[in-house]
Amino acid sequence: MSEIIRVEHLKYVYNPGMPDETAALDDVSFSIEEGDFVGIIGSTGSGKSTLIGHFNGLNRPTSGKIIVDGKDMWAEGSDLRSFRFLVGLVFQYPEYQLFEETCAKDIAFGPKNMGLDDAEIERRVKEAAAFTGLSDDLLQRSPFELSGGQKRRVAIAGVMAMEPRILVLDEPAAGLDPEGRDTILSQIKAYHEKTGITVVLVSHSMEDIAKYANRVLVMSHAKVAMYDTVEKVFARAPELLELGLSVPQVTQIFLKLRQKGLDIPIDVYTVPYAVKTIRRLWQQEQGKGGGADAS
């Protein structure tokens, strides 16, 4: 895989030169490979949302570089507009930005701004609607008639319709009930698998990150605290807890069992993985005892 985003020594300061000057990001460096699904976690104020605002130029670095698809976003003569088509950003509560008469027109807004012809716009609207589970009849309705979850899907479809190579989502399931959250995140995962695009997901839910991401970036006090595969990050559960973060409930259970003296791993982060781990351990114990005392 090739590198799609590289962040080099990024620093971002709010209110520079003022008494309340604050470094929201401080010497942040990492890279994301094309096709990755990266989860970003961190406590409130850790710099997560400020960071992703740099990926399509909403925030300009105080110092450091943002390199997307091999190009320095803020180099002299760079075309910021092209970066914003390359990186689709879904804000928290994106449904508040819906404004068109119909859902179809709202989804088409981005592709129209790209200067595409009507046939291509229609294709993109239909494909994005299908990815987010929006029916044809719903597309002709006003977005203001829809439920919260449906509005959220319309807003996400509007970004998908621009067919970015990188999709960045800031708490896309915030405020939704468990069913609505699972629906949206499952659709995003299916979109990632079908298109092969890069996805960056900010979430406070460790369960969601564990279930959908393949790499995890942990932010703490404006810096990168960890960046690795899901397995390796959640294997450091005690450190995550020290940072004031939660870990998946199933990880907490295995952590407590280990603290009680059981010789079990703690890099368990999903229920299916937990079941697989318990079966493997049970089989090992069976092998040691030769199966004679299996009952």
The phi, psi pair for 278, rounded to 5°, reads: -65, -40
The tokens 């990001």 sit on which residue?
25
Distance (Å, whole) CA 198 – CA 162: 14
CA-to-CA distance for 62 and 25, rounded, in angstroms?
Answer: 9
Strand order in the sheet with 22-33: 22-33, 3-14, 63-68, 71-72
Give the span between the Cα atoms of 247 and 258, in whole angstroms: 15
* H-only helix segments in the chain: 48-52, 80-86, 103-113, 118-131, 136-139, 148-160, 178-195, 206-212, 230-234, 237-242, 249-259, 271-289
Angle, CA of 51, 247 and 244, to the nearest 5°: 65
Instruction: Name residue 91's amino acid.
Output: F
How far, in Å, CA of 127 to CA of 134, rounded? 10
CA–CA dist 44, 185 (Å, integer) = 22
Q: Are 133 and 183 in contact (CB under 8 A)?
A: yes
**Cβ-count burial of 151 within 10 angstroms (0-12 exposed, 13-18 middle, 19+ buried)?**
buried
Q: What is the pLDDT along the chain (295 residues), one digit of tens a residue?
A: 699 999 999 999 999 989 999 999 999 999 999 999 999 999 988 999 999 999 999 999 999 999 999 999 999 999 999 999 999 999 988 998 899 999 999 999 999 999 999 999 999 999 999 999 999 999 999 999 999 899 999 999 999 999 999 999 999 999 888 898 999 999 999 999 999 999 999 998 888 999 999 999 999 999 999 999 998 998 898 899 899 888 888 888 888 888 888 888 777 777 887 888 888 888 887 877 655 444 4
